[in-house]
Homo-oligomer: A and B are copies of this chain.
């Protein structure tokens, strides 16, 4: 039984981490913090937690929190995480950071997030927490850079083909559709119900900050520079990301052959499910779960991949717990199925 803290407990990702950990058999939540007006039980802030967990959510004090935990989840805005990580690292605690602060090289970070990186010392220690690709490194990691939601859905949808070197690497298109929780819990007119409902839009076309994260990891997988045209869309639903990915095959393959490539690639990975030929995944099959469901269809020399996740689970909190399970030697699926 390890002691766990959640920083940023009142955001969507933080709330979701708590919800998952409440049912986790090998973990005890001992510390919660958030930027709040007054310290009160988390069950007063989220009445849904009444009867399930009643510890107090405190104002941020990382040094104090570090004394009460073995591992900490950071559900913080970008740029804030890198101020806290050094404190927990120094205290020798395991860290799972759900922000983007430890996912990119500092010069790329500066371009896309508009800020100098403040903790270059710990950056090299950070492991990208996508367990289907990096489980060996995760096992030994002290600091996890938990992947973004869009990158999780896109990378898992493309990796098998890149690894197999059966697609061209310069004509990859990822058309992603996300529910609204992906934007976080905050007062923002653009996220108001009456602005989002009965509406649909593309945004930050090929300029979204998740693009460099996608290309960085895909390039590592391919062993060479990979570019992606990435278009995110905002969908009037709470949770879920569906990425429709268009790949050009560099050799003749039919749908069945491609399905086999994916099934082999993800063999033994408990959270990736490949649909049989002729079937396609949908959001309702993955929502509130840690699964990534992938469907495949070849037409001519084009492979269409449909990749579905819950943005708050496999795209954030669930994947964070999956990483914790691997780091701590627990069953990878504990608390998640």
Which chain A residues have a beta carbon within 8 Å of chain B's beta carbons? 12, 46-48, 50-52, 171, 173, 175, 177, 179-181, 185-189, 191-203, 205-206, 227, 229, 231, 233, 235-240, 242, 244, 246, 248, 270, 273, 275, 279-289, 291, 293, 295, 297, 299-300, 302, 304, 306, 308, 337
- What CA separation (Å) do A237 and B196 show in the bound complex? 10
Interchain residue pairs with CB less than 8 A apart (26): A46-B285, A48-B284, A48-B286, A48-B289, A51-B270, A51-B291, A51-B337, A171-B171, A175-B175, A177-B177, A177-B233, A180-B192, A180-B197, A185-B192, A186-B189, A187-B189, A188-B192, A198-B283, A199-B240, A200-B235, A200-B282, A205-B297, A205-B304, A229-B246, A233-B242, A235-B235
The one of B12, B51, B293 in contact with A194, judged by C-beta atoms closer than 8 angstroms, is B12
Q: A246-B246, A280-B205 are in contact. Are A187 and B198 (CB under 8 A)?
A: no
Q: A304-B229, A304-B231 are in contact. Are A242 and B202 (CB under 8 A)?
A: yes
Is B244 within 8 A of A202, CB to CB? Answer: yes
Most buried by B among A248, A283, A284, A306: A284
Contacts of A246 in B (CB 8 A): 173, 175, 229, 246
Q: A48-B289, A196-B193 are in contact. Are A201 and B302 (CB under 8 A)?
A: no
